[in-house]
Amino acid sequence: MSDQEKRKSTARTSVELFAGGGGLAMAVHNAGFQPLLVNEFAKRAVETLTENGAAARDPRDTSPPKPGKGRPGRRAAGWPLVPGDVRDIPSFEFLKDAEVDLLAGGPPCQPFSLGGVAKGDEDERNMFPEMFRAIREMRPKAAICENVRGLLRPSFKPYFEYIKREMSLPFVQRGEGASWEDHDAVLRKLLKDGSVNPSERYDVVHIPVNAADYGVPQIRQRVIIVAFRADLGVEWGKHTPEPEYSESALIDSMHDGTYWKHHDDAPGIDLIRERVMATLPAASLMPDGKKPWRTLRDAIAGVDGNKPLPPVTVQQVREKLLVNSIPDHMGWPGARVYTGHTPNELDRPAKTVKAGVHGVPGGESVMRLDDPNFDDTGYRYMTVRETARVMTFPDDWVLAGPRGEKMRQLGNAVPVRLGEVFAKAVRAALDDAEGRA
């Protein structure tokens, strides 16, 4: 076996911070990285990781960690889980010798108020500094973060650019009492003059994404930040994932009938098709060659090997009954539509899954049904299992806690499929760079 083949056959390693319910951690694992450490603070999310096989580890333990391999049915089996506040982990130095390939996580960054940032009074819940500390202490080859698209708003842009420069130069720490603007000026100067050792500098890019464009049956606007240690010579450009799915391809598939053929066993599908087609724009004159966006109906019917979920009856909704003993596929009463809370449509990707807003469990998780007379409203709440599907969590992933907490974990998560697309691209870029070494 050649040196290049040996490098590519060696299992890569990862560390996951702010793991939540496990979406990005699972995605990274699916991409071929074995977790050396997984950290999460929220009690119910920790329970979810534990239910799926993660094994608790003392945050003060500095012994070399053994990678967790996981397996179907216990997907997080053996993942070394450090529960609690990441700030209570004294140091990540013990991971340096492990040569961590990928540090992943979605640091909480809300709420950044324009006034607060302008004054230098950044919210204490901003966990990007902990991400930078981890980079500094373990020196991973790459890092990947997911966060809200709102960071790209003009009001946040100066601070977001500062975040990226901090990630580029994690060893250049902010001085005691210094404002972020003062620190940013130092970072700008160092990046301009190119005086920093490449082993202590990261090349950072951000990619705005809509999860639906990557095969997730949900409209979810996010930003992905990817960083590679500069001394590795990674050429990210040729590995950046391109969107493979589109709205126009979905519309075209409805016009040519291929979409409806996938659902020809749905009750009343001819009338449903007629109603939906009446609202569609014309088919594309020049198809884009992409795959159709996946819809909520697709997710419920089953994609990527999932079996169809059975329908939920009015009785199961009113009495909160489990459907066919399927975990988390339970009816829930009280769904209604009102100003600001428009429903999910079955023949569109689901709306963004939220972490519980406006007092509604799971945010705007109401769906319009094919039957306009269902429960006298024509609406019901999505079940937790349906919601997990539009987040592309596998059906065998166990979620801990009451319904509201499960929905919160899903709303805070990275869709597994989206994370996997980018984690695989990061791995390919590292393989390519090290294969040329």
Output the DSSP codes for 186-247: HHHHHHHHT-S-GGG-EEEEEEEEEGGGGT-SB--EEEEEEEEEGGG----GGGPPPP-EEH
Residue 63: what pLDDT? 87
How many whole angstroms separate alpha carbon 346 and alpha carbon 400?
27
Tokens describing residue 347: 């023949």
Residue 280: what pLDDT? 95
Residue 110: what pLDDT? 54
Listing DSSP states for 109-162 in one string gives -----HHHHHHT---TT--HHHHHHHHHHH--SEEEEEEEGGGGSTTTHHHHHH
CB 238 within 8 A of CB 428: no
End-to-end CA distance of the chain: 16
Q: How many helices (H) and strands (E) does the chain have?
A: 15, 12
Using a 10 angstrom Cβ sphere, with 0-12 exposed, 13-18 middle and 19 or more buried, the burial of residue 87 is exposed
CATH for the 246-402 domain, from 3.30.43, 3.40.190, 3.40.50, 3.90.120: 3.90.120
Sign of dihedral through CA atoms 326, 327, 328, 333?
positive
Domain ranges of the chain: 3-243+414-436, 246-402
Tokens describing residue 321: 């009954």
* Residue 93 identity: E
* Residue 9 identity: S
Question: How are beta strands 142-148 and 221-229 bridged, if at all?
Answer: antiparallel
CATH for the 3-243+414-436 domain, from 3.10.520.10, 3.40.50.970, 3.40.1360.10, 3.40.50.150: 3.40.50.150
Residue 120: what pLDDT? 36
Task: Compute CA distances 395 → 255, 348, 388, 406, whole Å.
Answer: 31, 21, 8, 14
- Which phi-psi region, left, alpha or beta, contains residue 340 (left: φ > 0; alpha: ψ -120 to 50)? left
Residue 119: what pLDDT? 41
| Residue listed under structure tokens 């790209």 | 152
What is the pTM (predicted TM-score) of this model?
0.93
Q: Just list the catalytic residues.
A: 109
Residue 153: what pLDDT? 87
Angle, CA 350 vertex, CA 346 and CA 352 arms, to 5°: 160
Tokens describing residue 106: 């979605």
How many whole angstroms separate alpha carbon 231 and alpha carbon 278?
56
Per-residue confidence in pLDDT tens, the chain, 437 aa: 344 444 444 679 999 999 999 999 999 999 999 999 999 999 999 999 999 999 999 888 888 887 776 665 578 988 999 999 999 999 999 998 889 999 999 887 554 434 444 443 466 778 899 999 999 999 999 999 999 888 888 888 898 999 999 999 999 999 998 999 999 999 999 999 999 999 999 999 999 999 999 999 999 999 999 999 999 999 999 999 999 999 999 999 999 999 999 999 999 999 999 999 999 999 999 999 999 999 999 999 999 999 999 999 999 999 999 999 999 999 999 998 877 778 999 999 999 998 865 445 445 699 999 999 999 999 999 999 999 999 999 999 999 999 999 999 999 999 999 999 999 999 999 999 998 54
